[in-house]
Amino acid sequence: MEGDFRVNRWLVQPLLNAIVSPDNISAQLEPKVMEVLVYLADHAGEVVSKGSLLQALWDDTFVTENAPTRCAAELRKIFQDDAAEPRFIQTITKKGCRVIASF
């Protein structure tokens, strides 16, 4: 996705690495966390594997396989999402994750 976009009522500003809540509170994200969000948004509704994220976003860097999981956890925290009852990011056991929020 290019430019700003919305996830439910949240404003995502990739160029600023920021997400603005419905209450107009801005949160700064690490650049890689924003890249994960943008990648998931570009593949909304699709199950994205850890391998796909690692290849797309960390192909030239050595990181542990937990890097995408850590980023997804950070996004859940920002969006005040619950992994057990997701509204934004759903984990598919042994497969990956997908964005289930509306845009």
Task: Note whether residue 65 is domain-resident.
Answer: yes
Task: Note whether residue 47 is domain-resident.
Answer: yes
Q: In a 3-state reduction of DSSP, which class is residue 8?
A: coil
Task: Note whether residue 11 is domain-resident.
Answer: no
For 60-94, the pLDDT digits (tens) are 888 888 899 999 999 999 999 999 999 999 999 88
Q: Which domain holds residue 85?
A: 31-99
For 15-35, the pLDDT digits (tens) are 999 999 999 999 999 999 999
CA distances from 51 to 41, 92, 98 (A): 17, 14, 14
Question: Cα-flanking dihedrals φ and ψ of residue 89, to 5°?
Answer: -125, 120
Does the pLDDT value for residue 1 go beyond 80?
no
CATH number at residue 89: 1.10.10.10
Full-model pTM: 0.91
- Residue by residue, DSSP assigns 77-94 as HHHT--SSS-SSEEEETT
